[in-house]
Amino acid sequence: MAGVIVSIKDLVVRVQFDADSPDINELLIVDNERKTQLLVDHLETGGVAFCLNVRTDRSLLKGTSVQRAGKGIEIPLGEVTIGRILNALGDPLDGLPPIEESPDIKRKDILKLPARSSNFTVAKPEILETGIKVIDFLTPFVKGRKIGVIGGAGVGKTVTTMELINNTAKSGGSLSFFAGIGERIREGHELWDTLRENDLLKNTVMFFAQMNENPVQRSLVGISATAAAEYFRDEEKKDILFFADNMFRYIQARNELSTILDQVPNEGGYEPTVFSDVKVLQDRLSSNENGSITSVQTIYVPADDISDPAVQFIQHEMDSIIVLSRKVAEQGVRPAVDLTLTSSSLLTPEIVGERHYMLSVQVQALLQKYESLKGIIAIIGENELSPADRSDYAKAKKLIANFSQNMNVMTKHNGIPGDYFTREETLKSIEEIIV
């Protein structure tokens, strides 16, 4: 049965159905020239479907008839999508020919949750080398786990992510997915160029919704990338490297939709279901008996306030947290990692080995002492410290300098060749300083 548009407010369209009401997350097609797509958000009493205008089509009119599509938002999947840039709805953004329907093309409803695995057992942790000293040492990159890169604007979140993509994707054993959620189009171009120059596009699928897109698409693009990663994990039995930049923008998009939908915010000012939405998305980025999804997610910190409730919640979903500091960035250290706030639940003898673990304990103790000594030095000067304290202070300064390195993805901008350090080289360099 057809429905009729009864009201239009910004991106919200209310459609009256006298019978055969649609399902939540079902697409509706407007009977106009553009065949405008509406996504059912929720149902009201009296057969009214509360819908979101997916493509921000402004040519809608009250009284126009609407047809049920009988399906949700389905994106194309398969080998033909590898090397392409797609939007949240699966449409190409790279100027290449559209993805034509064929027997090789599979389609997946992005909002349909996959079945839970009941016989999956966690395999022995496998460490993936990144070539970045501070990450390999303090936040080991473990297959099937999550790393969060937290920081304010301009401290190097995107550059760090691009370096991780560049260094880890070269192994060729995994398929990489990138979700650009509400970021600048310039950053999308830079990532595309980096992947193309390093011949990595053949193993990469990109989903992108830049910051000027409507909040519907920005809130869906991460979900679309996740759905695609799920398909290649479950159907193609692939190990996936999943990169998302930026998860906080996903929350911002959800907040905008919440305002449009006239929802009452929660205590922190965020949409009422924001934390459950994030939880559902994070749970989908998991491993099963078919394959693994290893994810790196950048998290923007508004006003450099790491205590923001949304930032804190996303942080709790991560196995490792890399905190990028403006204060460290101003000192010229790259990547600008705050060594005292950065942490990982994976830094255990069982995962990294006894040698690595014991070194990390010594390093963290030395860095904590360094922070306390800085306050003392500011008052009485370094010369007044005891010989032991002066020695530890000097070692800590050497450690901080040792963790700084040039990025390969910045070579084309600054002309300085990038560094890549094996995990063994990293451990040796630290031993030379503190042992």
Question: Which residues, including other chains, have CB under 8 Å from residue 286's CB and lie 6 or more apart?
Answer: 144, 293
* H or E element at residue 161: helix 157-169
Question: Of 175, 180, 161, whose CA–CA distance to 85 is shortest?
Answer: 180
| Pairing, β 146-151 against β 106-109 | unpaired
| Pairing, β 37-44 against β 48-53 | antiparallel
Going by the DSSP 8-state scheme, the letter that residue 417 receives in this structure is: P
3-state helix, strand, coil in the chain (%, to 5): 40, 20, 40
The amino acid present at 94, given as its one-letter code, is D
Question: Of 358, 294, 292, 295, whose CA–CA distance to 137 is shortest?
Answer: 358
How far is the C-alpha of 317 from the C-alpha of 323, rounded, in Å? 15
Question: Which residues, including other chains, have CB under 8 Å from residue 216's CB and lie 6 or more apart?
Answer: 11, 39, 52, 53, 54, 56, 88, 253, 257
- State the greatest distance between any 2 C-alpha atoms of the chain, in Å, as a whole number: 85
How far is the C-alpha of 257 from the C-alpha of 271, rounded, in Å? 8
Going by the DSSP 8-state scheme, the letter that residue 324 receives in this structure is: B
183 among known catalytic residues: yes
Catalytic annotation, pick one of 184, 196, 355, 412 = 184
If phi over 0 gives left and psi between -120 and 50 gives alpha, with beta otherwise, what is residue 416?
Answer: beta
The amino acid present at 409, given as its one-letter code, is V
Going by the DSSP 8-state scheme, the letter that residue 263 receives in this structure is: P
143 among known catalytic residues: no
Q: At what angle do helices 247-260 and 215-234 cross, to 10 degrees?
A: 130
How far is the C-alpha of 139 from the C-alpha of 126, rounded, in Å? 13
How far is the C-alpha of 4 from the C-alpha of 200, rounded, in Å? 48
Catalytic annotation, pick one of 183, 187, 213, 317 = 183
Catalytic annotation, pick one of 157, 218, 334, 423 = 157
Distances (CA, A) of 303 to 153, 295, 321, 342: 8, 25, 19, 19
Active site amino acids: 157, 183-184
